[in-house]
Chain A
Amino acid sequence: MCKTILSFSYEMRSEFDRDITRHDFRLMCIPRGSLRQRVLRAVCEVSPYTWLSEDCDGFGNPYVYGAAGDHHRLFHVRVSGQVQTGLADFEEYASENDGLFRFPSPMTVPGPKITHYFGRLRPPDEAGTPLARARFYMEQLHRDFSYRSGVTDTATTAEQALAQGCGVCQDFAHLLTALCRLDGIPARYAAGMLTGEGQTHAWTEVLSGGRWYGLDPTHGRAVDCNYIKLSHGRDCRDCLVNRGLYCNPARETQRIRASVAVLPPA
């Protein structure tokens, strides 16, 4: 794996058709450091705000939160910086809290569809490492499940997504997570960004030999130096990139742009 420096930015602009007040927000879009990636610089700009604070949640994910109390029609967030990736092809197993990722979570409970699908999958080497088996599930899923946006949303469970046969990266990640857990492999949901321009991305991490490995079922490949990780959790509900709540019934138009580019070596 090659060490790479990525420059990134995550931008969210929310426009409201009338003034809103008492706007509370919580943002989980700051890259987290690990053996795989080192955060060289990260700057978070929020406007407007009356107060801001930061912390790490129960999974160790950094987040910024606060409120914008005064009237406003535009809310803007920009996180930017540089991350060195490719330092290793795995993440450390730090918390010893893998039990959390061994059992079904609300969005990944296997129903009849997933159980049936899992029953049909036969890893070529059943005694292989958890990583090898997870890779096999990823490849199968990449082949059998198709990418289509607009047919699922943040409330879609893995079971519902499989019934539909298509979805977005979140659904791919939920499904791979559910399959691995059925096989007894601790698996977690990861949210992050990928080189290029667009939305945030999601994939799955599996525990194998005391290390967490990232697998991206949407693209059918292992997570490499092109990925910046923001957070992980049991499923997408633990990794919501932004949450907001405000007074006044306003129509909100939200635009999100994530962009990641390889920085040429100095």
Chain B
Amino acid sequence: MHDICREADAINEQLARYGVKFGIYKNNVFKEQLFPFDAIPRIIEADEFAYLERGLRQRVTALNCFLADIYSDKKIVKDGVIPPEFIYSSSGYLPQCEGVKPPKNIASHISGIDLVQSQDGTWYVLEDNLRVPSGASYPLIARDLCRRASPRTFRERRIEDNRNYAGLLKQVMDYVNTGGDNVIMTPGRYNAAFFEHSYLAEKTGAALVTGSNLFVENDVLYYLDYSGEKRRIGAIYRRVSDEYLDPMNFLPESLIGVPHMFDVFRKGNVAILNAPGNGVADDKGIYYFVPKMVKYYLDEDCITRNAPTYLPYYEQDRRYVLDHLGEIVIKDVAEAGGYGVVFGSKLTRQEKEDMAALIQSEPRRFIAQDVIDFIDIDIMENGERTPRKADLRAFVLSGEDVVVWKSGLTRFSRDPDSFIVNSSQGGGFKDTWVLSR
């Protein structure tokens, strides 16, 4: 491990050369910055990961059951487990998807589940990301470079090899493929995760395409390959959000989408990874109900734990939230990427009053959570080890089987006083080592 730390600068240089960057739009200005890699890995013991694996497989299985149910019978709403407004008022719910069954009935193929570990060692799920979660490529390439920097480390220590991610992804694409090529669709060079799109395309052997290479003819989706030949697509791993996917079915002003792509999907002639409409399941308001989903669909107790969460929608919770405004964290359900997160302790008196009024007038808009004091992990800064808050994004792939990738993206906050680790807020990342025994 010391070898790797010694080589940290060289590894970061390599990452920069490979284009491991993160683009951020702020105030309409596009800024691209390096995604800094810290060489000290997060290490997860085998038995601890085995627990996470069981919990995450169960969680993602239930979430896929929920998505299949929501766009068909809606039993969970009819049975009174989830109030209807949490479905229909969610911006992620797409009525276009009503009655559409994705190939093999899988909606969330690649799920990114964000976890933190509290000081007492308990793991909490903070967020489920079921739309287009990014980040798997970063530990993947970092591991590759670390192995080159210090092959010995990986020979001597029992670390699960994480280089199978592309293989797992390809298996999922092949399993849902309706006949044709696998492709990865990127919005283009200026997308925040363009490195990831190109890297995963290279590693899975899928063609990297943009909307302008794609077209629909007679309910079949095609792309033009490098030689200008028209090829049929059976599975498209799209890194474009739902609204922009198809201007004939979603936002008419989208220029990066493909007209009629959704119609092809509706006809069952292509698999879209992840399926459109998944936003209804990773809505911050729906998160509260995930343990209830596990019970409802699988008749099992939920293994993963949610952070203690309050829904101001319920009167009892609303009273708690208003009484404890100074101690909790409030999240706007419509926001993502670390935006719209407010720590009650940082509010002035006036701000607190405004927030209380807002919660009372729009209770459905917010969730509140107890602040979890999660563990620090050391990073190297100016040659010294210093602790920083860190979370873990675990990747769960759903195809023929539901598989948890034995690694993950550990993100840390560069600001010592901040709990927000999102890459869009300027954090860094680490490799995640899962020990094999």
Contacts and interface: CB of A to CB of B under 8 A. Distances in A.
Given A26-B248, A65-B260, A103-B88, A55 B217 contact: no
Contacts of A51: 217-218
Interface string B80-98: 0000110111000011111
B248 A102 contact: no
B251 to A, nearest CB: 10
Nearest to B248: A26
Nearest to A51: B218
B259 interface: yes
B317 interface: no
Interface string B228-271: 00000000000000000001110010000001100100110000
A58 B84 contact: no
Contacts of A103: 84-85, 88-89
Nearest to A23: B259
B218 A59 contact: no
Interface string A1-40: 0000000000000000000001011100000000000000
B99 interface: yes
Interface string A32-55: 000000000000000000110101
Interface string A229-249: 000011000101001010000
A179 B85 CA distance: 17
Interface in B249-302: 249, 252, 259-260, 263, 266-267
Given A58-B100, A243-B252, A234 B247 contact: no
Given A50-B217, A55-B263, A97 B98 contact: yes
Contacts of B99: 58
A67 interface: yes
B248 A234 contact: no
Interface string B190-220: 0000000000000000000000000111110
Contacts of A96: 78
Contacts of A53: 218-219, 263, 267
Contacts of A100: 88, 95
Given A24-B260, A58-B95, A234-B95, A243 B88 contact: no
Contacts of B78: 96
A70 interface: no
Interface in B84-130: 84-85, 87-89, 94-100
Nearest to B259: A24
A55 to B, nearest CB: 6
A59 B94 CA distance: 11
A96 B98 CA distance: 12
Interface string A181-213: 000000000000000000000000000000000
A57 interface: yes
Contacts of B266: 55
B95 A233 contact: yes
B149 interface: no
A99 interface: yes
Contacts of A245: 247-248, 252, 259
Interface string B14-30: 00000000000000000
Nearest to A240: B252
A85 B99 CA distance: 28
Interface residues of B, number: 29
Contacts of A67: 216-217, 259-260
B98 A99 contact: no
B219 A102 contact: no
Contacts of B85: 99, 102-103
Contact of B248 (A22, A65, A97, A238): A65
B88 A99 contact: yes
Interface in B56-89: 74, 77-78, 84-85, 87-89
Contacts of A26: 248-249, 260
Nearest to B89: A103
Contacts of B98: 58-59, 97
B362 to A, nearest CB: 11
Nearest to B217: A51
Contacts of A99: 74, 77, 84-85, 87-88
8 contacts: A53-B218, A53-B267, A58-B99, A59-B95, A65-B260, A103-B84, A238-B95, A245-B247
Given A24-B260, A55-B267, A97-B74, 12 more contacts: A22-B215, A24-B216, A57-B96, A58-B94, A65-B248, A67-B259, A102-B85, A103-B88, A234-B95, A240-B252, A243-B252, A245-B247
Interface of A: 22, 24-26, 50-51, 53, 55, 57-59, 65, 67, 96-97, 99-100, 102-104, 233-234, 238, 240, 243, 245
Interface of B: 74, 77-78, 84-85, 87-89, 94-100, 215-219, 247-249, 252, 259-260, 263, 266-267
